[in-house]
Amino acid sequence: MIDHFGINCSDLPRSAAFYDRVLGVLGHERLMDFEVAIGYGTDKPEFWLSTFEGMGPNREVHVAFTAPSAEAVREFHAAAVELGAETLHAPRLWPEYHPGYFGAFVRDPDGNNLEAVCHTAEPAAG
């Protein structure tokens, strides 16, 4: 059900140093670093830290749900928008994450960043 999730932090270098150490003792490591977002895991990033300009005290949570197909990602997005969700990123391929990564991002009624992701999409699915 949960593919990965992320939290936002006010001081990314400080939080990264903390998570590098505490997750390291559990056998996880920093697998991706985009300077504003850092992914941790063993085989793939499952926990993300990120930051953004103008972040207030109530920080959104990011939760990505596993989808069985690119079509299911599209259906997730359509259902969310039908219910009034804000589109953060329409369904598309995200090759910067890895080939076959197809995701859509919406904001839920409480302001959280939700994603549906399929890891096996074909390039023509975009």
Q: What is the pLDDT of residues 100-118, one digit of tens each?
A: 999 999 998 778 899 999 9
64 in the same domain as 43 = no
48 in the same domain as 70 = no
72 in the same domain as 50 = no
pLDDT band at 3 (very low <50, low <70, confident <90, very high): very high
Mean pLDDT, residues 53-66 taken together: 81
What is the pTM (predicted TM-score) of this model?
Answer: 0.76
Domain count, the chain: 2
Distance of CA 73 to the CA centre of its chain: 14
Tell whether the model's pLDDT for residue 52 goes beyond 90.
no
Q: What is the residue range of 104's domain? A: 60-126
Mean pLDDT, residues 23-28 taken together: 89
Of 64 and 110, the structure prediction assigns the larger pLDDT to 64
> What average pLDDT does the chain have?
90
pLDDT band at 54 (very low <50, low <70, confident <90, very high): confident
103 in the same domain as 122 = yes
88 in the same domain as 33 = no
